[in-house]
Amino acid sequence: SLGLVINMGKRKCLTIRDFQLLNRKAEELEADGNYGYHLTMGLDGMQTLALPYPTLVPSGVKAFAATAVKNQQIVLSEIEEGIVPAHTGVIIEAAAGDYHFKPSAEAGRTQSLLLGVTESAATDNALKYYTLTLSPKPGFTLYEGLELEKNRAYFTRPASESLTFFPFQLLYVGMDNGALSQPHHPAPTYDLSGRRVKNPGRGVYITEGKKVWIQ
Q: Which of 2-6, 187-191, 195-199 has the lowest mean pLDDT?
A: 2-6
- The tally of domains found in the chain comes to 3
106 and 17 belong to one structural domain: no
**pLDDT for the residue numbered 53:** 93
pTM of the model: 0.69
Nearest to 108 by CA among 123, 139, 87, 127: 87
3 and 66 belong to one structural domain: no
Average pLDDT along the chain: 81
**pLDDT for the residue numbered 202:** 67
25 and 101 belong to one structural domain: no
**pLDDT for the residue numbered 196:** 74
118 and 84 belong to one structural domain: yes
21 and 90 belong to one structural domain: no
85 and 138 belong to one structural domain: yes
Between CA 58 and CA 63 the distance in angstroms is 9
Q: Which domain holds residue 196?
A: 180-215
Query: Distances in Å between the alpha carbon of 192 and those of 7, 31, 212?
Result: 54, 29, 11
**pLDDT for the residue numbered 28:** 54
Check whether 4 has a pLDDT greater than 50. Answer: no
99 and 112 belong to one structural domain: yes
**pLDDT for the residue numbered 12:** 52
211 and 197 belong to one structural domain: yes
Structure confidence at residue 137 as a pLDDT band (50, 70, 90): confident
What does the pLDDT look like over 34-86, one tens digit per residue? 578 999 999 889 999 999 999 999 999 999 999 999 989 999 999 998 999 99
Does 211 or 140 have the greater pLDDT score? 140
**pLDDT for the residue numbered 184:** 34
Q: In angstroms, how far is the first alpha carbon of the chain from the final one? A: 68
130 and 69 belong to one structural domain: yes
**pLDDT for the residue numbered 7:** 44
111 and 186 belong to one structural domain: no
Bridge partners of 165, per DSSP, are 141
High-pLDDT (> 70) share of the chain, %: 72
Between CA 129 and CA 143 the distance in angstroms is 5
**pLDDT for the residue numbered 180:** 43
109 and 19 belong to one structural domain: no
Between CA 123 and CA 128 the distance in angstroms is 8
**pLDDT for the residue numbered 187:** 58
Query: Distances in Å between the alpha carbon of 189 and those of 78, 115, 162, 198?
Result: 22, 34, 38, 7
What does the pLDDT look like over 5-16, one tens digit per residue? 444 444 456 566
125 and 191 belong to one structural domain: no
